[in-house]
Amino acid sequence: MNIQTGTLEGRIAVEVERQMPALVADLQSLVRIPSIVGNEAAAMERMKELWQEAGLDLEITRVEPMIDALREHPGFVDTQMSYEGRYSYVGVQAGTGGGRSLILNGHLDVVDPGALDAWTRDPWGAEIEGDLMYGRGAGDMKAGVVANLYALKVLAGLGLRPAGDVMLQAVIDEEAGGAGGTLSCLEQGFRADAMIATEPHPRRITVAHPGVAYFRVRTRGVQAHAAYAHDGVNAMVKMAAIVSALGRLDVERGESLRHPLIGQGSPRSCHLNVGMCHAGEWPSSVPAEAVIDCRIGFIPGESLEEIRALVARTVAEAGAGDAWMEENPAEIEWFGWQTDPWEQDPEASFVQIVKAEAERVAGETLPINGGTGGIDSRFSAYYGMDAVVTGPRAWRMHGTDEAVSIASIAETVRILAQSVLAWCGTADGEGRA
């Protein structure tokens, strides 16, 4: 390590290295528990066990989703999923007094691994090869949740306790929109002066992301036998013009819209994706209905209302000149994710503190930028909290052979431990206020 072992940073680094074998084992135990969104309870209980075994004097609370009460909240996302038997956990380590409080947030729900035969390793095996641990959720984002815990364990191992309260949040529902997890926690009073979400955003400080909206387009036709297709109206063919129009809109927006933070290092700040399509029941039948499900991203400065109007105009123009479509216009339904963009002031003192600590660990200047996907950090804005996202390096999140770098988890723990002290302070003044 390129550190001075007698310094605060050096002592933290040495303690992180000492505790890494235990961290790796704990992370493996979590990755080996399938916690596909909607079925997170077993992973939640394992996380609670790890908190209880840590000896950190955490006050642990089970937080139930409050979906009905949040339906009018501006950050609400209607997942149309059941919340029966689902919950999050919050663990609060009380500070010694006088310091600022901090949330370390992460989610335990993961997406389905998809076709298992496409994986070269067991998605629930937590196999290690070199520096990489493989498995669904290893990077997105069970590594971050475990890093949050170990930041406090490392400080405790050095005999350091923050002056301000530190709150661990292990939540459900992020992959589906977050209303049942982080938003429910914040709405029920589990808040702090600032928040770090440890999503896999390595060696950068993320302070913005685009808005995200899901929409469904449905075209109607007339069913007929394929041998007499002239007697029918093919809803799939009518949909093709709409798909093409949405594809052109995606290209146009990608080329014309740039945000100074979102999409740094990428040619795009936002995307429109036609993600699902269904039409027809039989090759010899003219389909009477076609449906596509889509996701559109939009940057700060654009509103959800503007985006909905843009999509409606694009779909209507795709059917212009088609007599059937003019008499039977496509239907648009907005569902699921419906979130505004998030943009945190990059000059806020909290952002600059975390950036400085991350740079001390990395030994280089790190960028402040924006992500291109929705993150639970966006909820902080509704409660007057500053928030950033930073975490381990991961590959192929939501894809096959997802993996996380173990070395980057250690780096994340160091950044978190130093940021806790710098923001929350300590009774003996070792933190950088």
Task: Tell me the CATH number at 111.
Answer: 3.40.630.10
Phi then psi for residue 176, to 5 deg, are: -105, 0
The least confident of 157-161, 261-265, 270-274, 284-288 is 261-265
- Whether 259 and 324 share a structural domain: yes
Question: Considering the domain boundaries, does residue 288 fall inside one?
Answer: yes
Closest CA to 353 of 97, 187, 164: 164
- Whether 14 and 146 share a structural domain: yes
Evaluated on CA atoms 160, 171, 133, 393, the torsion sign reads negative
What local confidence, expressed as pLDDT, does residue 429 receive? 64
pLDDT band at 402 (very low <50, low <70, confident <90, very high): very high
- Whether 284 and 414 share a structural domain: no
List of residues 6+ apart from 330 with CB closer than 8 A = 217, 218, 219, 238, 239, 242, 315, 316, 318, 319
Q: What percent of the chain has pLDDT over 70?
A: 97
Please state whether beta strands 102-107 and 128-129 pair in parallel, antiparallel, or not at all (unpaired): unpaired
How many domains does the structure of the chain reveal? Answer: 2
Phi then psi for residue 314, to 5 deg, are: -65, -45
* Rounded Cα distance, 224 and 228, in Å: 7
Mean pLDDT of the chain: 95
- Helix (H) / strand (E) containing 147: helix 143-157
Domain that holds residue 103: 8-209+341-424
Of 322, 339, 356, the residue that ends a domain is 339
What would the pLDDT profile of 199-238 be if each residue is shown by its tens digit? 999 999 999 999 999 999 999 999 999 999 999 999 999 9
* Rounded Cα distance, 253 and 189, in Å: 39
* Tokens of residue 252, six digits: 């146009």
For the cut 70, the answer to whether the pLDDT of residue 116 exceeds it is: yes
For the cut 50, the answer to whether the pLDDT of residue 396 exceeds it is: yes
For the chain, report the end-to-end CA distance as a whole number of angstroms.
26
The least confident of 192-206, 322-336, 364-378 is 364-378
* Rounded Cα distance, 277 and 236, in Å: 9
Cα dihedral 178, 181, 183, 189, rounded to 10, equals -170
Asked if 65 contacts 87 with a C-beta cutoff of 8 angstroms, the reply is yes
pLDDT band at 4 (very low <50, low <70, confident <90, very high): low
- Whether 173 and 51 share a structural domain: yes
- Whether 110 and 256 share a structural domain: no
Which DSSP category does 329 fall into? P
Question: Considering the domain boundaries, does residue 295 fall inside one?
Answer: yes
What local confidence, expressed as pLDDT, does residue 23 receive? 99
Task: Say how many residues make up the chain.
Answer: 433
Once rounded to an integer, what is the mean pLDDT over residues 377-391?
Answer: 97
- Whether 204 and 232 share a structural domain: no
Asked if 155 contacts 8 with a C-beta cutoff of 8 angstroms, the reply is no
Give Cα 321 distance to the centre of its chain.
42
Q: pTM (2 decimals)?
A: 0.90
Query: Which residues are paired to 225 by β-bridges?
Result: 285
Distances (CA, A) of 378 to 25, 114, 169, 178, 210: 31, 28, 15, 10, 10
What would the pLDDT profile of 297-307 be if each residue is shown by its tens digit? 999 999 999 99
What local confidence, expressed as pLDDT, does residue 5 receive? 65
* Tokens of residue 383, six digits: 């409660």
* Rounded Cα distance, 234 and 149, in Å: 56
- Whether 307 and 191 share a structural domain: no
What local confidence, expressed as pLDDT, does residue 433 receive? 44
- Whether 327 and 181 share a structural domain: no
Question: What is the secondary structure of 38-62 as a DSSP string?
Answer: T--HHHHHHHHHHHHHTTS-EEEEE
Question: Considering the domain boundaries, does residue 429 fall inside one?
Answer: no
Question: Considering the domain boundaries, does residue 382 fall inside one?
Answer: yes
List of residues 6+ apart from 324 with CB closer than 8 A = 221, 233, 238
Question: Considering the domain boundaries, does residue 129 fall inside one?
Answer: yes
- Whether 420 and 366 share a structural domain: yes
Question: Considering the domain boundaries, does residue 1 fall inside one?
Answer: no
Question: Considering the domain boundaries, does residue 157 fall inside one?
Answer: yes
* Rounded Cα distance, 23 and 1, in Å: 19
Of 304, 321, 339, the residue that ends a domain is 339
Q: For residue 330, count CB atoms less than 10 angstroms from its CB and return exposed for 0-12, middle for 13-18, buried for 19 or more.
A: buried
Question: Considering the domain boundaries, does residue 430 fall inside one?
Answer: no
Asked if 424 contacts 163 with a C-beta cutoff of 8 angstroms, the reply is yes
Query: Is 401 strand, coil or helix?
Result: coil
Query: Is 238 strand, coil or helix?
Result: helix
- Whether 313 and 352 share a structural domain: no
What would the pLDDT profile of 82-104 be if each residue is shown by its tens digit? 999 999 999 999 999 999 999 99
CATH code assigned at 335: 3.30.70.360
What local confidence, expressed as pLDDT, does residue 1 receive? 46
- Whether 14 and 143 share a structural domain: yes
The least confident of 14-18, 372-376, 388-392 is 372-376
**Highest mean pLDDT pick, 1-10, 264-273, 392-401, 422-431:** 392-401
pLDDT band at 278 (very low <50, low <70, confident <90, very high): very high
List of residues 6+ apart from 396 with CB closer than 8 A = 402, 403
- Whether 23 and 136 share a structural domain: yes
* Tokens of residue 182, six digits: 């982080």
Of 293, 309, 339, the residue that ends a domain is 339
The helices-and-strands tally (H runs, E runs) of the chain is 10, 19
What would the pLDDT profile of 324-345 be if each residue is shown by its tens digit? 999 999 999 999 889 889 999 9
Closest CA to 420 of 156, 202, 57: 156
